[in-house]
Amino acid sequence: MGVFALPSLGSDMDAGTLVEWLVSPGDTVHRGDAVAVIETQKGAIEIECFEDGTVQALLAETGKELPVGAPLAMILAPGESAADEEPEPISAVPEPTPAVPVAEPLPAPAAVSRGAAIEASPAARRRALDLGVDLAALTGSFPGGRIVLADVEAVATRTPTSVPAKPPSAMEEMRKAIGSAMSRSKRTIPHFYLSQSIDVQPAMDWLTAHNAGTPPADRILLGALFVRAAVRAATKVKVMNGHYGDQGFEPAKSVNAGVAVALRGGGLVAPALMDAERLGLRETMAGMRDLVSRARAGRLSNSEMTRGTITISSLGETGAEAMTGVIYPPQVALVCLGAPQVRPWVIGDGIVPRQVVTLTLCADHRVSDGRQAARYIAEFTAAITDPESI
Amino acid sequence: MTQDDIRTAFIEELTKIAPDIAAEDIGETDHIQDDLGLDSMDVLNLVTALHQRLGVDIPEPDYPRIATLSDAVPYLAAKGAGS
């Protein structure tokens, strides 16, 4: 029997609010199953179970803010019997910080957990949290019963609530989280930067030709080629891929490619495409599509939020030509790509207009030097200028 | 399929891809990228959804023609949406 505690939520997010249980006592769970939804400063995150077993008791109530490490549930290992001991959650974990509602195990929580996820948009979730509206009590007006912002506001205007004066908005919370992670990064990581302009005309021509005869579901974006090239370079220059922790740098065995996704209204998240070195271009594109849709819908998991080993931030297909970014700790490198620009380019003896992208590699000087950064850029360039090979 | 049906389909698919945008906030001439903040991945997801729902395959060079509601509805109608 083990206490399942709230795992890390990402850099500098040390607490979150339990908004929903996705399992009930008696349910069988497997490693990687989502068991709860935690609202964080960066939106809702699904918390995954670490091991196989059976949920014996839920130890935390919905609506409560919990620090990382707070006990969430008692999980029996396969074959273990529930009969014996009364769970002693508190002794099993480090002393939680104040204001933690380490509750007695909840009674059979029919009302708390329904075993199925409540389908609600991120905006609706945030508003419901701000207004103290119970999502489970609402009927969604969106096709399929999904709860949208308007449903929450409709209830809120009917029901007088005792709303605290002015809770910080979700956006303020996200800015705070980004500010704190980025301040820590700038304070502790000695950044250095190398830049290179790269002719991406071959990549764009290849994409145009590929997409012309392809139904929308199978089309590929330049961003997927960038991620693929960045991942390939990371497998070759291993000092760019991993985490810097108490023991110094630990290179990662696989490449979990963080993909920076800008959120409408401001802020961003960088969920990871796990084991990206095993994915071909089509699978990389499919994985990115899935990450972006779930980032928009507020359905990312804690492992995607914490296990990235290198991040790729691309400004998209139109916009500024270069960006110098801030490394997302505990990672040690960030690959920034500006939007493609038409620029004069020398090919042979001639000057021709070409689509050019500026790559800036931001790296951690505790771990690598300019020579390795230059090698990374050379590997990236080789991959992107020969799109057939990706 | 009438132009009203196409409009409804467009708005529904758009708000599915961008769940934080309310249907009533989408103006006739709002640009899906410049005003509503869709990125290239969102646009591709919208094109894919419209293809599945309306049977209209929008080639890449035509993406600008669905950039606003007021452009998209006649374009999709002319391409035989839902027929």
Per-residue pLDDT at A156 = 66
**CATH number of domain containing B56:** 1.10.1200.10
Chain segment A196-244, per-residue pLDDT in tens: 999 999 999 999 999 998 999 999 999 999 999 999 999 999 999 999 9
Chain B residue nearest residue A119, CA to CA:
B19
pLDDT band at B75 (very low <50, low <70, confident <90, very high): very high
The structural domain count of chain B equals 1
Residues of chain B neighbouring A317 (CB-CB closer than 8 A): 40
Tokens 């700038």, located at residue: A186
Q: Cα-flanking dihedrals φ and ψ of residue A152, to 5°?
A: -65, -45
Residue A309 has pLDDT above 70, yes or no: yes
Q: Give contacts of A 311-350 with B, CB under 8 A.
A: 316-317
- Which of B15, B42, B44 is nearest residue A216 as measured by Cβ atoms? B44
**CATH number of domain containing A297:** 3.30.559.10
Per-residue pLDDT at A388 = 86
In a domain, A158, yes or no: no
Residue A90 has pLDDT above 60, yes or no: no
In a domain, A16, yes or no: yes
**Whether A233 and A332 share a structural domain:** yes
pLDDT band at A282 (very low <50, low <70, confident <90, very high): very high
In a domain, A300, yes or no: yes
**CATH number of domain containing A49:** 2.40.50.100
Rounded distance, CA A22 to CA B5, Å? 37
User: Apex CA A9: angle with CA A4 and CA A14, to 5°?
Assistant: 95
pLDDT band at B32 (very low <50, low <70, confident <90, very high): very high
Chain B residue nearest residue A127, CA to CA:
B20
Tokens 């997801």, located at residue: B45
Contact criterion met (CB < 8 Å) for B18 and A262: no
Residue A160 has pLDDT above 60, yes or no: no
In a domain, A243, yes or no: yes
Structural domain of A320? 189-389
Could you tell me the CA-to-CA distances from A32 to A35, A62, A369 in Å, in that order?
9, 21, 37
Cβ density class A152-181: b for 16+ within 10 Å, e for less = bbebbeeeeeeeeeeeeebeebbeebbeeb
Catalytic residue flag (residue B25): no
Rounded distance, CA A312 to CA A189, Å? 18
pLDDT band at B7 (very low <50, low <70, confident <90, very high): very high
In a domain, A313, yes or no: yes
Boundary residue ending a domain (A67, A100, A117): A117
In a domain, A168, yes or no: no
CA-wise closest residue to A288 among A297, A276, A299, A301: A276
Per-residue pLDDT at A166 = 64
In a domain, B83, yes or no: no
Boundary residue ending a domain (A117, A141, A173): A117
In a domain, A137, yes or no: no
Testing the interface with A: which of B20, B43, B46, B48 to mutate, by most A Cβ within 10 A?
B20
Residues of chain A neighbouring B20 (CB-CB closer than 8 A): 121-123, 149, 264-265, 296
**Whether A295 and A194 share a structural domain:** yes
**Whether A251 and A377 share a structural domain:** yes
Per-residue pLDDT at A7 = 87
pLDDT band at A125 (very low <50, low <70, confident <90, very high): confident
Residue A106 has pLDDT above 70, yes or no: no
Structural domain of B25? 3-78
Burial of A253 (0-12, 13-18, 19+ CB in 10 A): exposed
Rounded distance, CA A230 to CA A245, Å? 23
Boundary residue ending a domain (A93, A117, A141): A117
